[in-house]
Amino acid sequence: MKTKMFVMNSTFVDTVETVNLEQQLTISAPVGERSHPRVANIKSDVEKIQRTLNQFPNRDGGPVALLKVDGIVGPKTIASILNFQTVNQLKKTDKIVDPEGATMDNLRAGPDVIPQESVSRFIVELPRVLAIVTAAEANMSLASSALSTPGSLFAATAFTRLDRHYHTKNSDERRLALARMQRVFFLVKSAVGHLTQGTIIADDAPLNLQENSFMYTFEDGFNSGKAPANKIERFKGIPVDRIYITVKGRKMANDGFRYAMLHELCHFVTGGKSGVPLADDQAYFHKNRQKYDTLSTDLALRNADTYARFAHDVIGQLDLVF
């Protein structure tokens, strides 16, 4: 079996954070390592960076002891910038905060969500993910019963979300779509059930494999179990039987975290030997809306994000951003 990896990518989120938070934290020139020619260390900029670093708990990249907010870059401020870059696993650990760059993005993202250990957070959120799946299934039942009762008064309502996400137009297409959806959501619940049996299906992503994403997993990881070694060179040796949560994923707000869980679970339980065609990444609702909206029913049924977005639409979170 060829291993396929899936990434819940976060390019979109970086854009959103920059737009929303820009006014809260901007500096006019780089702050940090004094010996570097591009660094200006303007007093008001330095104060902003010191104040912001102080807002982060140490485990999230903040200083061990609060920095003095004096606008002067001394060894403690430099050490704190380096610590922030290291803890947040930024590519550049140059001890400099540029006006735009990865360090600034991470500072702007803020410590508002205290990262929890991935596995425990996954478990904590599971009941609510299951509730979302259950709501989706209820909506599907409504659609099924409308299909078997021609002329049903609530048919139009029952088909709204199904048609919106799976682009179904007639009874045959709806019947086909519902059958597949029932299997996928059933498998998602089975995987979740295994977790409560003590099987680990979520884990922290290795520090060297963060993939600039929230979470990632592998095709049919749930069915593959411990058996196959990873076929992807870069991922050799890491088990395929779980969903990996990155540092970025750990910082997500709860609703986004649940969305990403459901998206990844759809990859995790389909394809391979699961008996259900792979739910792939054909188009993301939040990144490529036009493509998402024009997928054929067949492709929508092979798109993990369609399942996640359909379920969130049912609970009133069609426009959820994360």
Q: Which residues bind Zn ion (CB under 5 A)?
A: 6, 281, 304
- CB-wise, 32 or 271, nearer to Zn ion? 271
Give the type of residue at 203. D
- 163/281 with CB nearer Zn ion: 281
CB of 263 to Zn ion, least distance (A): 6
Q: Pick the closer one to Zn ion by CB: 52 or 303.
A: 303
Cα separation, 185 vs 188, in Å, equals 5
Complex with Zn ion: residue 6 or 185, whichever CB lies closer: 6
> Is-contact 265 126, C-beta < 8 A?
no
Residue 146 in contact with residue 154, Cβ under 8 Å?
yes
Instruction: Report the nearest approach of Zn ion to the CB of residue 302 (Å).
Output: 12
Helix (H) or strand (E) holding 119: helix 118-147
Greatest Cα-to-Cα distance within the chain, rounded to the nearest angstrom: 77
| 8 Å CB contact between 245 and 211 | no
Q: Which two tokens stand for residue 32?
A: 């940090």
Distance between CA atoms of residues 47 and 23, nearest Å: 16
- CB of 212 vs Zn ion, minimal distance in Å: 14
Which residue is listed with tokens 């299951």? Answer: 130
- How far are the Cα atoms of 86, 89, 100, 123 from residue 60, in angstroms, in the given order? 10, 11, 20, 21
Which residues, 6+ apart, have CB-to-CB distance to 253 below 8 Å?
A: 113, 322
Give least dist CB 268 to Zn ion, A. 10
> Closest approach of Cβ 243 to Zn ion, in Å?
11
Q: Which residues pair with 31 in a beta bridge?
A: 97
Cβ proximity to Zn ion, 6 vs 122, nearer residue: 6
For 208-230, b where at least 16 C-beta lie within 10 A, e where not — what string?
Answer: eebbebbbbbbbbbbbbeeebeb
DSSP 36-53: STT----HHHHHHHHHHH
Is the Cβ of residue 146 or residue 304 nearer to Zn ion in the bound state? Answer: 304
Closest approach of Zn ion to the CB of residue 303, in Å: 9
Please state the closest distance from residue 11 (CB atom) to Zn ion, in A: 13
By beta-carbon proximity to Zn ion, the closer residue of 56 and 322 is 322
Which residue lies nearer to Zn ion by CB, 7 or 40?
A: 7
CA 242/CA 229 separation, integer angstroms: 13
Residue number with CB closer to Zn ion (50 or 270) = 270
- Nearest approach in angstroms of CB 6 to Zn ion is 4
Closest approach of Zn ion to the CB of residue 270, in Å: 11
Distance CA 271, CA 221 (A): 9
User: Do 303 and 295 form a contact (C-beta atoms < 8 A)?
Assistant: yes
